[in-house]
Amino acid sequence: MEAVCNGTAADSSKTFAFLKLPDHHTTQLPNGFNSSDQFNNRKKISIMGSTNNSQPKILTGEAGYVLEDVPHLFDYVPDLPTYTNPLQDNPAYSAVKQYFVNADDTVPQKVVVHASSPRGIHFRRAGPRQRVYFESDDVHACIVTCGGLCPGLNTVIREIVCGLNYMYGVNRVLGIDGGYRGFYSRNTISLTPKAVNDIHKRGGTILGTSRGGHDTKKIVDSIQDRGINQVYIIGGDGTQRGATVIFEEIRRRGLKVAVVGIPKTIDNDIPVIDKSFGFDTAVEEAQRAINAAHVEATSIENGIGLVKLMGRDSGFIAMYATLASRDVDCCLIPESPFYLEGPGGLYEYIEKRLKEQGHMVIVTAEGAGQELLSHRLQPKDQEDASGNKLLKDVGLWISQSIKDHFAKEQKMPINLKYIDPTYMIRAIPSNASDNVYCTLLAQSAVHGAMAGYTGFTVGPVNGRHCYIPFNRIIERQNKVVITDRMWARLLSSTNQPSFLTRDTTEAKKVEEELPTQLLDEKSPNS
């Protein structure tokens, strides 16, 4: 199956709403759809929740084809003029065989299929369109970064500014200082290609960031008062939820403002997309901490090196850093429960490993083993400004627990070194791989906004960049599937116990299959 497929709409037994659009909007519809009466008699487009603008925009077609489309400005702003895309006169694109993405191009969410499988869910392919909905001189864009730090933030900022300027001739771009609350309580920063020229070499974000501070009315009032008509929001799942609310308020007011999300999370826990930016850099930098732990552990009798890595609810950094390192003997992640005492427990495995090779390296994600920690370490159910549950420090707790156990049992002396590189990892500049990825994300976001798409997040799906509706990004978190082959590969690499009983494994399989079943039930063809 090709990575990019063309959607074909077909008649269906379901109730349909016809999509009526002016002739100059036809390039935005799949397969050259138009709004003529003849078309309406031949083909039908199903739009789920067409009577409610906040519902997903779903187009269905033959063989179980489902396009989860993104909103467009012409959905709620009537009589929008279009303009020739200036890229056709851009010297940088003069050698490109095909300037523009075909209006039919969509990308399948699932590429591994069987002969009888339906074509399934698709997303609109990202890239430049023949017609744009903004004149370059009229564009007044803004960029905001929210949430925690992540390698690559400055690269995304730089490439949005340079992409708008170099590709589309846009000269007015503002940086919102200090996250969401910066819209109404901070000064703005003027962003030009010269001002952002070398910011990709620095960690952090030149715009500043914060958690919380989301006041929808104040934010949209500020956008409207400043005459901003393109909003680029860089942040994780909480930030994208905020972007969703901003988009809905903008649509309610009928403003010609494109709202675009660029997904950011170092934990790689955003669903649908292949990976989030900063993740590759985090895994690479984690190797330094693991290597230090390995050096410490091998330099002393019964040495144990314990490294705590990021991963509040998802253990991707810990898993991939372990697989890349080859020096790790045990990896603990939030998705895989473990226990300390008794046969098959962590203490028994540590003792066995020390007897076999005289040293050991343990990697734990910050969210692992939270259910085991004493409630005395920290009050329950505390949250940060973004609504994230505050975690207890599993690294300190588990290192002390290991020391106490071996001191109590008096079986062997141990020497444990604990390393926590969390803030060192997320504060560094992005590596080469992430720099390239951030460039693609930023340019895809710019193309989408100029083409009039709004209320979407950009990201790669099966290697092709897509425009993904906000609701798909915020509906759940991406997590390591411990009944999948990747986790089995890690267990084979480290030779650690899985800490799972057969009953727990079966329960996990049911839990991980449930979201897929629910998605199937929501499908228009189910």
Show which residues are catalytic. Answer: 267
Q: Which residue has the tokens 């998705």?
A: 335
Element (H or E) spanning 259, and its range?
A: strand 258-263
CA 380: distance to chain centroid? 28
Q: Is 395 annotated as a binding residue?
A: no
Q: Is 288 annotated as a binding residue?
A: no
In terms of DSSP H, where are the helices of 209-278? 216-226, 237-253
Cα Rg, the chain, nearest whole Å: 25
Sign, CA dihedral 329-334-335-341, equals positive
Q: Is 312 annotated as a binding residue?
A: yes
Token pair recorded at residue 202? 């620095």
Sign, CA dihedral 331-332-336-342, equals positive
Closest among 433, 434, 438 to 196, alpha carbons compared? 438
Q: Is 265 annotated as a binding residue?
A: yes
Q: Is 296 annotated as a binding residue?
A: no
Q: Is 266 annotated as a binding residue?
A: yes
Q: Is 169 annotated as a binding residue?
A: no
Gap between the Cα atoms of 8 and 10, Å rounded: 7
Q: Is 236 annotated as a binding residue?
A: yes
Token pair recorded at residue 378? 């920290």
- Buried-state track 301-332, b at ≥16 Cβ within 10 A, e below 16: ebbbbbbbbbbbbbbbbbbbbbbebebbbbbb
Q: Is 366 annotated as a binding residue?
A: yes
* C-beta neighbour count of 35 within 10 angstroms: 15
Gap between the Cα atoms of 252 and 496, Å rounded: 54
Q: Is 105 annotated as a binding residue?
A: no
Q: Is 237 annotated as a binding residue?
A: yes
Cβ 171 vs Cβ 123: under 8 Å: no
Q: Is 281 annotated as a binding residue?
A: no
Q: Is 211 annotated as a binding residue?
A: yes
- Buried-state track 399-424, b at ≥16 Cβ within 10 A, e below 16: bebbeebbeeeeeeebebbbbbbbee
Q: Is 155 annotated as a binding residue?
A: no
Annotated binding site for ATP: 148, 211-212, 236-239
Annotated binding site for Mg(2+): 237
Annotated binding site: 148, 211-212, 236-239, 265-267, 310-312, 366, 423-426
Annotated binding site for substrate: 265-267, 310-312, 366, 423-426
